[in-house]
Structure formats: C-alpha cells, structure tokens
Amino acid sequence: MTATRVRAAVIGASGFTGGEMLRLLLNHPDVAGIAAAARSADEPLESVHPHLLGSGLQFTTPDEVTARAGDFDVVFLCTPSGEAMRRADELLAAGTRVVDLSADFRFPDPGRYARAYGREHTATEALAEAVYGVSEFHRDEIAKARLVANPGCYVITALLGVVPLYEKGVADPALPLNLVGINGTSGAGNKPRAEVMHPNAFAALLPYSLQGHRHAHELEDRIGGGVVVDLSTAHGNFARGIHIQATVPVRAGVRAELSREALLDLYRARYDGEFFVRVNTRPAQGGLTDKDYRRYPTLAGVTGSNFCHIGLDYDAERGAVKVVAVTDNLVKGAAGSAIQNMNLMLGLDETAGLRTYGF
C-alpha cells in the first residue's frame, strides 16, 4: 500500500466514535479519500460534527457504502451490536478489509457472545476468520487479517494493565480479578438521556450495569485460564476517558519477593518498544501514609491521544498488585486503536496518524 492511496469508509459516522474516526482519518498522512455513512444521511455532516467544519465531508448511506465496498481499502463499522454481522460477509466478498468497532466479532465462541449480548450470532463464517484487535498483543495476526474485531474500551485498557501479570505467573488465576472502571459520558452514546445531561451528571458518578457488565465476559474470554472478572462501572463527570483500577491477586509463592520496583521492571520489559503504552516509573515519595499522587497516571495525560498510561503498586499486606490504567475511550478505546489496526493491515507505519500527545 503506497501513500495517498488509502480509501476508507466509516459506517455509523454520526456517533461519537464515528466522528472520532473521521477526525483521525482526516489527519492521517496516507488516507486520500473518506466516505462517511450514517442512517441520518440527509443531515449535514458539519451540523452533526461541528469540529469537522470545512472538512468537505458529506454523509452517504450505509447501503451505498456496502454496495461500493470494492472501492475501499478498509471499512470501519461504528455501529450498534448486530449491524456488523449483517454487513460483514458482503463487505469481505467485495475484497475490502473490515475493522468492526462493535462487539459482533470479539468472541470466538458464538455461544459466549449470546450469553454476553442476549442474541444469537448470525455470521459464524466471518467470525471464524476474525482477529482480535489489541495491536500490542496480536500484531502479526492483525497484519494478515481481513476482519479485525476492535476491543471494548474498558477491555483494551484493562488488558494492557493486567495481562503482563498473568503472562509472567504473578497473578493468581484461581482468585477473582476486581476491576473498577470509570468512563466518560461519551461512553453513554449520543442519544439524549436525562441522567447524562450536564445538570445531572456534573459532580456525580453514575453507576451502571452492576448486575454484570458485558465487558466482563470479554475480559474473561481474553485473559483466559478460568479467571473470574468482577467489573464495576460508572460514568464520571467528564466527557472522555477510561480510568481502570485493578486489584490483582498474587500467587502465594511469589508474594514475599514482589515489590513495586520489581513490577516496574516487569512492565518496562513487557512494553519495551510499544510506542502507545507508557509506564509511570516515578519513584515513590513520602512516607507510608502520604498521598503520593504522582506515581499514578491520570486521564488528563491521555485525553485526545492513542496512549495508555499505566501505574503500579503492591499491597504486600493483602498480596495484591494495584494497577491504574488510563486511556481516552474514543481514541485508544475505539477509533485510535481501529486506525492502529488499519495501519497494520495495510502495511503502513503502525503509528501513522496517531502520534499526537494528549491535550
């Protein structure tokens, strides 16, 4: 794939994630053409996405993009769960590559998908070839794929945060993994709801899906080893971002030798050379009870970027590693990781269009 030849389409371009896809594609050095498809194709795109004023983009329809699928090098599906299943076969048959940002192709087992989302999987042939899209873990497979399943925003943040502990045998898979995830209100979507309107969401946390979040299924599936994930989620009073705090139980045999310094060494080695994963290695300051905020990352450091920042600590009394991982839910948690996957699929520089730091 040579520069200026990439032709991309976004189906579901009217939502927050779709708008972020368009923003990032417009700034990508190798993307020459963009089709933006939405069901509300009669509305001016610049009215839906005022930040794209002057881009020249106009909405077309999802059916038009699907009919012209052979004209595109890649199609991004930013659609509700169920829509990608209906379109994937036709898109793939036309010879285009597909990055699905919904959950339709994240579970290799269609039965697990049905348990998580309450509906039958109807595209099992496409599912059989789908590659899970955490670039840092599946780079070689993604580069050869026609269909990539982008991970959920909580999931990619949590996986980057905790997987090294399971890979190296530090975490005890027989004990539950406890995660608390705070998501920006953009994670609620762009359909008006009173609960997430500014007067109601400001200075508040809005817990949701405590009966069992669908991303817990995805995390259990991807971590493997029978790990049980206890995921508690809420919207915070900010627009964008994922803040994960994980309590990871440590195997009894390694508790005595573990320390924050050892954890930092482990994570530095695991993510050496990974441009988008940064480990906060600031040394601890103060005494045992001092509030040393600087050793943990904050959302302000990643907003608007494709980076994941990770902070670590060790509670020796309780035999638990504490992990803080933060991302922008619309970038690394969605559109940014999708473009990272596109870059791999098309043989481009993996970081192309994504090297911007947070704002």
Using the Cα atoms of residue 35, residue 38, residue 42 and residue 44 in order, give the sign of their dihedral. negative
Give the H or E element holding residue 357: none
Judging by DSSP bridges, how do beta strands 31-37 and 242-249 pair with one another? unpaired
At position 256, the amino acid (one-letter code) is A
Half-sphere exposure of 63 (CA within 13 A, CB side): 3
Half-sphere exposure of 300 (CA within 13 A, CB side): 2
Going by C-alpha positions, the residue among 211, 163, 205 that lies closest to residue 187 is 205
Q: Is 165 helix (H, G, I), strand (E, B) or coil?
A: helix
Mapped to the 3 state alphabet, what secondary structure does 202-228 carry? CCCCEEECCCCCHHHHHHHHHHCCCCC
Rounded to 10 deg, the angle between the 153-167 and 214-223 helix axes is 30
Which one of 6, 85, 101, 153 is the catalytic residue?
153
Active-site annotation holds for 153: yes
At position 338, the amino acid (one-letter code) is A
Tokens of 304: 């608007």
Q: Give me the active site residues, please.
A: 153
